[in-house]
Structure 1
């Protein structure tokens, strides 16, 4: 394969997808990404878009480096970032995540309907769906063992390392700490597997749970 094809930018209806060759050394991918971003010039400047990394699995450190290359050369405003990472914990393991003594966890059995709201000082686990028009707000983490289609705000008092996880994630709005993002239309995303959202480099990342 031509070296130029190790990194490919592809425009979609949902934003921009960056395809990475699965066998190329990471250093080569960084060099190609840096070159292509610079060649794009001001094409990405002041663009508000979703960004997806696809084609191979990266470590957290590698993802940060790739994102840094993009943000160093553009003023792109990334509203949603999707990555592939097959080394994440299963959703059930997230339930065992160690909490600090003051971070209590509220378990709610049953789905939340339009107009219903849960606001809790601690983490929240919903055993059911969060339907459009329903709201979740927690100072800690949020886990939905069902469909998340309403609004969810984790770390609402500044806990930037909070996370949001759901068996099926298609929220109207997702917020972690002070960072807000809106998801693309669920019919366009086509993601059916459990996902996990967290803040990194000032952006909300969403990864598939393997």
Structure 2
């Protein structure tokens, strides 16, 4: 079985790198195959997707493959797909889906930055910041800055008593709480127009259906 096989994928081309093959054999076969393809297609730019199966390419291995492609200027790599994921990537994905319970006192000048959702049960002083890549549910006292969707998640929400907060931020949108606080609308979210909007708790199920199910499970 060849260590590198050319495959057609709808409107694209893929190079399958056999995951059980010796990597140096893959490099040798890749050079031969690309050389042949280069002669058969003397004009035009051609890009290939690399499919690595159950093999995760190291940075060194990827550099070696890129070095092979460098010998064929009209050929390029447009992506890499694998059937496996690096354990660190998996760990980050799991963390991002967790709901973290945060208590205690966060003092002025301090910043709490969490991957995932946060259920805040503590005391956030003025001048302190609570950030979460996901949603923030406030059940404590907040006087500082509360930011949900800190990595750009515009679907994130902030829910709870925000009367004393100095600012609420969702993704890149900032709101001064004192100018907009309404105790009857404890849900802050971004509308389709990307503006900070407030709603009653009873409306959350319609605004963010998936989130509502998540809250029921908490």
TM-score, structure 1 normalization: 0.45
Q: By percentage of residues, which structure has more strand? A: 1
The higher radius of gyration belongs to: 2
Q: By percentage of residues, which structure has more helix? A: 2
TM-score, structure 2 normalization: 0.44
